Chain A
């Protein structure tokens, strides 16, 4: 087996001449370009990519991703969201809502990019660059260098209506880079919903700054087009008493790598990252999370549950770093897989690195099959074996889904899971 080297004929080109040289972001882009050149694109030989082969994320050729018949765009309609629609990474104004909402500023990167000055300059690439200290994340740096579209959001109040970014996929070979910047001011709050397959190949980065007392609720459902390949990064910083909650549901997709890198810099802040995924067949899903506690009395939770069958693969790499000053840290990390057959596999690398002495951190990682005793108990009451397995599967996923606070939105996710189980039950 051989792996492509950076700038080899098979790889994405990293060209300085392709960089935007004008506007407020030019400097950050040049900087990111240099980072990418220095680290090179990821290869399967990198320790950090040990469990997930990045080849199809870095190759010059985008593999075809046929469009699924399911129309998933409207799944959050019941929450009356402000819709922003991208089709293969291109903004679709006719499908999007009016973005003129009090307390909220939503702009598009492609438009503000041309300006010489913009508040986003302070954030663009900032957390991505910071994240490179622990380990190179070249796909994110590449995104900083070349992204030309995405939403740039500033929230100055508590916004009731969620923003829903819908990613439609129309071109079977689309190769898309998206970059979102989100700044939530003191005591402001935003709920962001994302759903849809987006593209045949998607490289997406979201940078989020939560000021003191800010709250960010994030729920996303990665689209179902099975052949899609997706690499996402969430980078964030939490101020004092800020609350960050992010939940991701993944059903199908041959390759998904979701990275999350958060710095808790404010006292008494809380960050919860959770995910549920169900994978069938040639499904590969990787959650890679790195949370740094750098303040007193902060809390973090990582809750990831994966149901895998017919040879599906699940990966979890999760780390909690507690800096010396981060006393009274409460850290929790759990990653579990339910393997419905012997062909499926779960690879986990949980890590704790603690330099403070007054902390409570726990972590656990398990792989298991359906509990035969529980299955017998349910069937002995007249419940069919398939329904009993579905009930136990939902029960397994519950801890992750329970991380969603909003009851209506939680129900949307539960309904999606139930539908998936119904469809796949024989």
Chain B
């Protein structure tokens, strides 16, 4: 579904190479986890995949359902079904959460040649999805993420994901800043979206998120590369022994 092949990325404004040949396939119906120490390039990978400015792809390809997406704008990638749940969701004063959600849904539908969602269908859907994430009406009415707590912001990301129904979901350290209860709520939201037609790439430092979102495959990333791939037991190994043993082993 998402095929990353030999991806090399440097920063636009300095020569520093961040990703040094990432190979990774995310399959439909599977949850892939990427773990790795700070500075290994995990967040860069999520930004490059979703089309953020400031990165320079020096080599490699990324395909989403057969489309080469590296030349596409962020909105085009989104319409093809790519979704990034941000580590730090952006506050946008003056733009209402509901307006934002509806504009996004309709923009994606339009680009796929589908009809816009009706106001009543939209309201019904957003209320239903919000309820399962314990997002109240007041949060929906407020400007995007403004005045939201850390947990509310992450839940709002999952709400957007649920509304947009993407094919590939990238979760960038969705557990950061969450207490156990908030993490369970977010994990339940993600699990509800697990589906045979949908792939997940869950980026995290810690195994604890993976207790709630059970991965099928775990990748260890270090110094801009995937250095080890295995089953869920790999995450437990990291939890018990840290990264250093694994990295020594890999090198």
Contacts and interface: CB of A to CB of B under 8 A. Distances in A.
Among A372, A380, A384, A398, the one with the most B-chain Cβ atoms within 10 Å of its Cβ is: A380
Interface of A: 372-374, 376-385, 387-388, 391-392, 394-399
Interface in B181-199: none
A379 B73 contact: yes
B84 interface: yes
B78 A376 contact: no
A1 B118 CA distance: 61
B107 A391 contact: no
B86 to A, nearest CB: 7
B223 interface: no
Contact of B103 (A372, A377, A391, A397): A391
A385 B75 contact: yes
A66 to B, nearest CB: 35
A385 B83 CA distance: 17
Interface string B31-62: 00000000000000000001111000000000
B94 A381 contact: no
26 contacts: A372-B53, A374-B90, A376-B90, A377-B90, A378-B100, A379-B51, A379-B73, A380-B51, A380-B52, A380-B74, A380-B75, A380-B84, A381-B83, A381-B160, A381-B164, A382-B78, A382-B79, A382-B111, A382-B164, A383-B104, A391-B103, A394-B94, A395-B92, A395-B94, A396-B94, A398-B94
Contacts of B73: 379, 385
A397 B93 CA distance: 11
B95 interface: yes
Contacts of B99: 391
A108 B69 CA distance: 67
A353 to B, nearest CB: 30
Main secondary structure of the interface of A (DSSP, over half): helix
Among B53, B100, B103, the one with the most A-chain Cβ atoms within 10 Å of its Cβ is: B103
Interface of B: 50-53, 73-75, 77-79, 83-84, 86, 89-90, 92-95, 99-100, 103-105, 107-108, 111, 143-144, 160, 164
Nearest to B105: A382
Contacts of A398: 93-94
B94 A383 contact: no
Given A380-B83, A380-B84, 9 more contacts: A373-B90, A377-B86, A378-B100, A378-B104, A379-B73, A380-B50, A380-B78, A381-B83, A394-B94
A384 B95 contact: no
A381 B95 contact: no
B246 to A, nearest CB: 32
Shortest 9 CB-CB contacts between residues of A and residues of B: A395-B94, A382-B78, A382-B108, A381-B104, A398-B94, A379-B74, A377-B90, A379-B75, A380-B74
A422 to B, nearest CB: 14
A387 B74 contact: no
Contact of B95 (A379, A382, A392): A392
Contacts of A388: 75
A395 B78 contact: no
A378 B78 contact: no
A304 to B, nearest CB: 16
Contacts of A373: 90
A178 B103 CA distance: 44
Among A379, A387, A391, the one with the most B-chain Cβ atoms within 10 Å of its Cβ is: A379
Contacts of A379: 51, 73-75, 78
A392 B94 CA distance: 8
Contacts of B84: 380
B17 to A, nearest CB: 22
Contacts of A376: 52-53, 74, 90
A387 B106 CA distance: 12
A382 B86 contact: no
A332 to B, nearest CB: 17
Nearest to B50: A380
